[in-house]
Structure 1
Amino acid sequence: MGSSESTQSQKEEQKKEEQKETGVSVSRDGRFVLETLEDNGSKLATAAAVVAAGLALWGLWSLCRRDNDAPNQTMMRAPGRRGEYIIRDLFESDPKAYFAALRKDG
């Protein structure tokens, strides 16, 4: 009796493990029953929330980073234009062209 009971309990234990893995069990009348539908739904909702949060964080990070992509450029007051600033390196590379454009634009 003892060995047949232990074999039967091992079989039942195996069935329970398979049910946990697949989420499907057999009812007493022989029909298949999906037991973990709620668990799968909550896991899916949790996964969707984690993905959405990750995308939101990535979006914020990329927005903040966009301003820092440009190399650090020194600005200077634009000669001949009140209240305007220009990039110093561009002016110093060809000041003659800057003043020619200033005279042309008026």
Structure 2
Amino acid sequence: MKQIRILSWLALAAGFAAFIVMNAETARVNFWPFGAGYLHFDWPVGFTALVFFLAGFLPPWLAGRLRRWRLKRRIANLESSLASQAGAYAPPPAAPDAAQPEYRP
């Protein structure tokens, strides 16, 4: 399963690298006006696509990683509190009852 994941990431990276190489022309990127004029960048199309893909991908990915970290920490705290309570309230082991005879059909 790990090999399939690695191969899929490699194929995705190779496809994106090919996209960047094929689209090497520059394109003007105009951002919202700051002060008197616009903020202009003349970037290659592939680099522009990479920058804006990462700008849209990273915040939700980081939010998901943070949520997963918080839940794992909460589960660990709950498990440790459960383990400490289970040791305090453990019933004593039951001794076999010698007064009752063994039943055999």
User: What TM-score comes out, normalization by structure 2 length?
Assistant: 0.39
Query: Greater strand percent: which structure?
Result: 2
Radius of gyration: which is bigger?
1
With a CA cutoff of 8 Å and minimum separation of 6, indicate the structure with the bigger relative contact order: 2
The normalised TM-score by structure 1 is 0.39
